[in-house]
Amino acid sequence: MTEYTNLNIRTSKETKAAAEKIFDELGITTSTAFNIFLKAVIRENGLPFEMRVETPNSNTISAIDEVRQMEAHSEKYKGYKDVDSLKKALDV
């Protein structure tokens, strides 16, 4: 027979409520959801999802804004709406 233990975590009330709403829609409990997560960690030998930062930092946001201003006020700078347009302009 499996021996169980308690796992205590701390999170905000808002996070808990939002997660429980989703778990309820999935028909599972918070306990079941965490067990699924822990088993996935074991199976993957690490976190079962990729961790990355997708939001640009303040320096990158400033640089993007600067380039947009340059494009808007000068014909010297040309922007591209997509990678295909840029590749075509570069003959790539």
| CATH code for the domain in which residue 45 is found | 1.10.1220.10
Considering the domain architecture, whether residues 12 and 32 belong to the same structural domain is answered as: yes
Q: State the Cα–Cα distance between residues 92 and 90, nearest whole angstrom.
A: 5
Query: Residue 9: which pLDDT band, with cuts at 50, 70 and 90?
Result: very high
Considering the domain architecture, whether residues 63 and 43 belong to the same structural domain is answered as: no
- Provide the 3-class DSSP secondary structure of residue 89: helix
- Give the count of domains, the chain: 2
Considering the domain architecture, whether residues 66 and 41 belong to the same structural domain is answered as: no
Considering the domain architecture, whether residues 42 and 63 belong to the same structural domain is answered as: no
0.95 exceeded by pTM? no
Any idea what the Cα angle at residue 68 is, between residues 63 and 74, rounded to 5°? 120
Higher confidence at residue 81 or residue 49? 49
Query: CA gyration radius for the chain?
Result: 24
Considering the domain architecture, whether residues 44 and 67 belong to the same structural domain is answered as: no
Considering the domain architecture, whether residues 45 and 66 belong to the same structural domain is answered as: no
Query: Residue 13: which pLDDT band, with cuts at 50, 70 and 90?
Result: very high
Q: How many CA atoms are closer than 13 Å to the CA of 33, on its beta-carbon side?
A: 13
Domain interval for residue 65: 58-90
> Residue 58 corresponds to which amino acid?
S
Going by C-alpha positions, the residue among 22, 53, 49, 25 that lies closest to residue 37 is 49
Considering the domain architecture, whether residues 45 and 79 belong to the same structural domain is answered as: no
Average pLDDT, stretch 65-73?
82
Say how many residues make up the chain: 92
Considering the domain architecture, whether residues 30 and 69 belong to the same structural domain is answered as: no
pLDDT at 81 over 90: no
- Paired tokens of 54: 């997708």
